[in-house]
Amino acid sequence: MNRLRLRLKTSVILLLVGIVLTAMAIVSATTLTVAVRHIHEENRKEVTRAAVDMEERLAIILSEIETRVRIAAAIIVDLPPNSVPTMLRDVSVPRLEALYTIDANGKVTAVYLGDGNQSRAQELIGIDLSTYPLYVRAKNHFGVIWSDKQISAVTGVVTMAIATPLKFGAGVAIAEVSTDSIIEITQIARGSGNLDYWIIDKNGEIVADTGPDPVRFENLYYLPIVEAVLDGKPPPEEMEFRGESYSVAANRSEKLGWLVISRIPNGISNPRIIDLIRIIASFVLGVVVVGLVLATAWVRSIVRPLHAVADSATRIANSDPPTKWPSATIIEIDQLYRDLQAMSEAITGREADLQKLNSELEARVQQRTEALQRSNVELSRTLVSLEHAKDELVQAEKHAALGRLVAGVAHELATPLGNGRMAITTLSDRLKMFRRSMAEGLRKSDLESFIETTDASITIAEANLHRASDLISTFKQVAADRTASRRRDFRLNEMIDEVILTMTPTIRRHPVTITTDIEEGIQMDSFPGELGQVITNLIDNTLLHAFPDKASGTVTITGKQLSEEHVEIRIADNGVGMTAETAKKVFDPFYTTQFGHGGTGLGLSITQGAVNNVLGGVITVESEKGQGTTFVIELPLNAPYDDPDDKPAE
């Protein structure tokens, strides 16, 4: 929701207008309440008096009419018909519409019609009005009787009739006057002001209403005041009619039996209250106008220093604080000036401090940057050294492996060469003995013994030298493979047998049995040196880690062709296994659990490098603590070529 935003000037003016209006509203409401009560009281008196006055006035006027009707009746009875109209004009009954006499039998005997319709007057003579209620009442009554509003017996229109008995008990004269006459009488008697009247007949029919919007055709029997008066009860003083409230009073006409009801509107329909409201409204308007003028001037004097404050604040915001600070008449604004000045000075001081700090900070950043650059160079250099060291380590590892190979081979050669030497030594001894025998005299048995010995020695020597020669050629093959990365065709089972052979001395030092189960006839075109190194490293690794404390165990090497292009080699032990944590890291360079015991942590890293990069395969490890470890190598039968051009044409 958006909050209403107002200018100070507007809000102060609104405030003042609000105060004025509120004050005036309260004062006006109070005044009105008091005045209304007062007016109300006066109204009450006025309507009561008016009802009596109007009834009296009506009574006088009606008596006058009655007198004239009596005279007119005498005229119509006594005078010849042709002089009646002239005489009646002189009597001048107001709004006389018809005058007729009815004899004791109910027959019409004489008729005068206000419209001068002679033929109608004539035909009326002799008709029977014995059932006419006014006649029935008047016949047995001494004095004048007024009818209620009713339909005329002779003209057929709605009139009021006045019945007066004729002389000598000879019947009744009836004069019919228009209800307009009553309306006129009451209108004249009404006077000015807001007082109005209803004249209501005994049946509740409105005869006259002097109001601005007169009710003429309604029966008001249901109004409490009509009911009360007709029932002879005290009438109410207030009345609601058509949504308006009135002060009312009623008086009943003795002559007619009719009601005179006077009424004055209450509330804002009352002109006096309207006048009062008008006066109050003009007063309020005047006060608001004066208030507005004063407020504008007053606001200007408040707003000017506030604008100066705002201006100063803006200048402070723009880092251009005013040099000269004004003072104000209003304490709060003056205080604001001084606070603003203090704030401005504080800001200036802090700005200088900040600037100083800022420049120092730049220098420090410069120094740090240089130091960092130096460290960076050193680190780069160290990294290069480390790379170098790693390469050297890898080389050293390879050499060590080769050394171990050589040691193994040398050890293996010792036996056949020792046997050969022993055979040759034996032969040599026998030869010396033979020569001595020849000098002493050679016997046939001596010769046979010598030949036999010689033969055996030669056989032994020959066999052992062959064995040595085989070993050397194997070694030559392995060494050649290892030292120079050579690609050639080979059979997997033969290659692995050779590798295990070269490892015999190492293996023999451990109580571990190595079994191989390689499918025969797996022909590969790959790098046997690297593969051999991989197998050697894995067996070394197994011997080193899987069986601590000279525990006995088994290492099984299996190989099988997976598809036409791939082969799988598994090297599984039943040793201690390793944790998942360790298994995850075994191929990381420099990771070793035997640090300080001669492990470089590079063996398996190199192994993985050879499998991935040279042989084009993948190596994974499956292990669980206490459940042994299996290295799985998956290789293509044909190793990939580094340079596609090296690939032989097929």
Chain residues that interact with other proteins, rule: CB under 8 A? 6, 11-12, 14-15, 18-19, 21-22, 25-26, 28-29, 32, 106, 115, 117, 119-120, 122-123, 126-133, 148, 151, 153, 155-158, 202-205, 215-219, 221-222, 242-243, 298, 302, 327-334
Nearer to other proteins, 113 or 503 (CB): 113
Q: How far is the CB of 60 from other proteins (least distance, A)?
A: 27
Instruction: Please report how close the Cβ of residue 88 comes to other proteins at its closest, in angstroms.
Output: 19
Beta carbon nearer to other proteins, 168 or 222: 222
DSSP code string of 627-639? S-EEEEEEEESBP
Residues with Cβ within 8 Å of residue 459, at least 6 apart in sequence: none
**Burial of 56 per CB tally in 10 Å (0-12, 13-18, 19+):** middle
Which is closer to other proteins, CB of 264 or CB of 295?
Answer: 295
Smallest gap from Cβ 156 to other proteins, in A, equals 4
Nearer to other proteins, 15 or 580 (CB): 15
Provide, rounded to whole angstroms, the least separation between the CB of residue 8 and other proteins: 9
At CA 25, angle to CA 21 and CA 26, rounded to 5? 125
What is the CA 484 to chain-centroid distance, rounded? 73
CB of 25 to other proteins, least distance (A): 3
Of 135 and 475, the one with the shorter C-beta distance to other proteins is 135
152 near 97, Cβ under 8 Å? Answer: yes
Tell me the closest approach of the beta carbon of residue 249 to other proteins, in angstroms.
22
Q: Contact, 159 vs 178, CB < 8 A?
A: yes
Cβ(524)–Cβ(518) under 8 Å? no
The nearer residue to other proteins, 156 or 644, going by C-beta atoms, is: 156
Q: Which residue has the tokens 């290295």?
A: 631
Are 209 and 261 contacting, i.e. CB atoms less than 8 angstroms apart? no
> Residue 348's closest CA among 322, 328, 324?
322
CB of 343 to other proteins, least distance (A): 20
Lookup result for tokens 């009561």: 48
* Cα 31 → chain centroid: 53
CB 482 within 8 A of CB 401: yes
For other proteins, the closer CB: 140 or 327: 327
Question: Residue 223 or 569: which CB sits closer to other proteins?
Answer: 223
CB of 177 to other proteins, least distance (A): 15
At residue 473, what is the residue type?
S
* CB of 42 vs other proteins, minimal distance in Å: 21
* Amino acid found at 498: E
Shortest Å distance, C-beta 100 to other proteins: 13
Distances (CA, A) of 219 to 54, 216, 222, 509: 21, 9, 8, 140
CB 154 within 8 A of CB 113: yes
CA distances (Å), origin 161, targets 62, 65, 72, 95: 12, 11, 14, 11
Token output for 271: 């002109």
Reading the block at residue 177, the tokens are 């006057």
List, in sequence order, every residue forming a beta bridge with 546; answer none if it has no partner: none
**Closest to other proteins by CB, 157 or 290:** 157
Nearer to other proteins, 106 or 505 (CB): 106
| C-alpha to C-alpha distance for 88 and 90, rounded to whole angstroms | 5
